[in-house]
Amino acid sequence: MPIVTSNLPLTTNYNAGEAGWGPAVNNNFTVIASLVNADFSAVGFNLDTPPALATHGRVYVVGAAPTGAWAGQGGKIAIDTITSWLFVTPKANWGVTYVGNKYRYTG
């Protein structure tokens, strides 16, 4: 039975031949590519509205009062997968760089 790891939101422990692994594995690779070392660069910081144009793998820090596709995801990290948004809850000490400024999540 699949489980989600404790640090990065990666789904693991699939049994050989188990159905349903495709989308979860694709999301795993997107998370790894976007947040490797949990110290990443964002193209948007404290935004409440998702960008109109999709760009795969772009990372945004969602603001406190998000709307549209980001509604209910305040304070999370949004990763653009072109067809949808993948949201990750940051852990303490994860770092983000935005326009040359470094920020650290305190948890």
- Look at the block and give the residue holding tokens 């699939």: 14
CA pseudo-torsion sign 38, 91, 50, 4:
positive
Task: Give the Cα separation of 57 and 95 in Å (integer).
Answer: 17
The tokens for 92 are 């303490």
Task: Give the Cα separation of 60 and 62 in Å (integer).
Answer: 6
pLDDT in tens, the chain (107 residues): 556 655 566 666 666 676 666 667 767 777 776 666 556 778 888 999 999 887 877 889 999 999 999 999 999 999 888 788 989 888 888 888 888 888 888 87
The tokens for 48 are 């409440």
Query: pTM of the predicted model, to two decimals?
Result: 0.68
Task: Give the Cα separation of 45 and 48 in Å (integer).
Answer: 9
